Chains A and B, each alone.
Chain A
């Protein structure tokens, strides 16, 4: 109740505006315009219509809700349409996926390339080496030099 002391009570103009909003909503429902908004959304829209002029307190808006629409606690739910939330969630998800694809795929690609090139290089080098170990290669050079020495070459 302390809240009510600092906020103005609904005035005639507010109530009139709310009534007009209600009439508009009813007209929309009656006109068969595209799928009519549900009651809760209508209440939310109309409550927000009366909110602007006087910044009503919660209690005042409750009274308007009760009086005009017979809906108690109408202030509690000003529901957002679902599609922007779904769209935002979709965007976040798509952005996340795009980031993962952008960062990880090239790395995966590099990994596959790397393994393939490594294997090819390894096979070629092995093919070029007459002896498999460094010790054997060094020994072969020593043996060749020793053979030349035995033959008397400088």
Chain B
């Protein structure tokens, strides 16, 4: 029995390893419009709740948006755009709450994710760089802020060029 079990286990492990996509995170393999609709609706509602709390309780609003980032998301450009917006908004709220380190982590996670998903030349990534600059500025890092703003400008110009050439980014 033992001799027969080991090859089967190895085969199962091989199948699991081949099927895993470490860069993609907890994505659904075949996103449908229904999944995207549900995901986007949920995020839109969360943003509206955050809008209501953004002045009085920015930390609470950021926490709620952070919880959304933990959910599985459909693997599509629209879903990544939604996530990039979530990261940027969360950073803005954390900044308003005076949690500069958390804000920097949030926006850093968003930029890393956009690079990982090959959407680094998008309007939302430009927005993330803009937020990154604002976080740096709040932390007194003028040079870091200028560099981040320059990255935002560079990214935005890339997007404008892409649009002029007829390519559509998220």
Chain B 99-140 near chain A by CB (<8 Å), digits 1 or 0: 000000000000000000000000100110110011001000
Contact A141 B137 (CB under 8 A): no
Are A122 and B130 touching (Cβ within 8 A)?
A: yes
Contact B137 A118 (CB under 8 A): yes
Chain B binding surface SS class: helix
B82 touching A128, Cβ below 8 Å: no
Is B37 a contact of A142 with CB atoms below 8 Å?
yes
The residue that A138 contacts in the complex, of B32, B40, B137, B156, with Cβ under 8 A, is B40
Q: Looking at A117, A124, A136, A138, which has the most chain B CB atoms within 10 Å of its CB? A: A138
Closest-CB distance, B129 to chain A (whole angstroms):
7
Distance of A134 Cα from B89 Cα, bound (Å): 7
> Which residue from A118, A128, A142 sits with its C-beta under 8 Å from B41?
A142
**A133–B50 CA distance with the chains assembled, in angstroms:** 11
Chain A residues within an 8 Å CB radius of B32: 154
Nearest chain A CB to B128 CB, angstrom units: 10
Chain B residues lying within 8 Å of A129, measured Cβ to Cβ, are 123, 127
Q: How many residues of B contact A (CB 8 A)?
A: 40
**Does B150 make an interface contact (CB < 8 A)?**
yes
A89 to chain B, nearest CB (A): 34
User: Chain A nearest CB: distance from B90 CB in Å?
Assistant: 10
| Residue with the greatest number of chain B CB neighbours at <10 A, chosen from A122, A124, A134, A146 | A134
Q: Is A101 close to B, CB under 8 A? A: no
Q: In chain A, residues 93-148, which have Cβ atoms closer than 8 Å to a Cβ of chain B?
A: 107, 110-111, 113-114, 117-118, 120-122, 124-125, 127-129, 133-139, 141-142, 144-146, 148
Pairwise interchain contact B47-A121, C-beta atoms closer than 8 A: no
Does A153 touch B at the CB level, under 8 Å? yes
Q: Which residues of B contact A111 (CB under 8 A)?
A: 142
Q: Report chain B residues within 8 Å CB of A128.
A: 123, 126, 156, 159-160
Q: How far is the CA of A133 from the CA of B85 in the complex (A)?
A: 10
How many residues in A have their beta carbons less than 8 Å from beta carbons of B?
31
- Picked from B48, B142, B150, the residue with its CB within 8 Å of the CB of A135 is B48
B70 at the interface (CB under 8 A from A): no
Residue in B32, B40, B152, B157 whose Cβ sees the most chain A Cβ within 10 Å = B40
**What 7 A-B pairs are tightest by C-beta distance, nearest first?**
A135-B47, A117-B149, A142-B40, A128-B123, A124-B156, A138-B44, A145-B37
Q: List 6 A-B contacts (CB under 8 A).
A: A118-B145, A127-B156, A128-B160, A135-B47, A135-B51, A145-B40
Where the two chains meet, the residues of A that have a C-beta atom closer than 8 Å to any C-beta of B are 107, 110-111, 113-114, 117-118, 120-122, 124-125, 127-129, 133-139, 141-142, 144-146, 148-149, 153-154
Q: Contact residues of B with A, CB < 8 Å?
A: 32-34, 36-37, 40-41, 43-44, 47-48, 50-51, 78, 81-82, 85-86, 88-89, 123, 126-127, 129-130, 133-134, 137, 142-143, 145-146, 149-150, 152-153, 156-157, 159-160
- A-B contact sample (16 more), CB < 8 A, given A114-B149, A125-B130: A117-B133, A117-B145, A118-B134, A121-B149, A124-B153, A125-B126, A128-B126, A128-B159, A134-B50, A135-B48, A136-B44, A139-B44, A141-B40, A142-B41, A145-B34, A148-B33
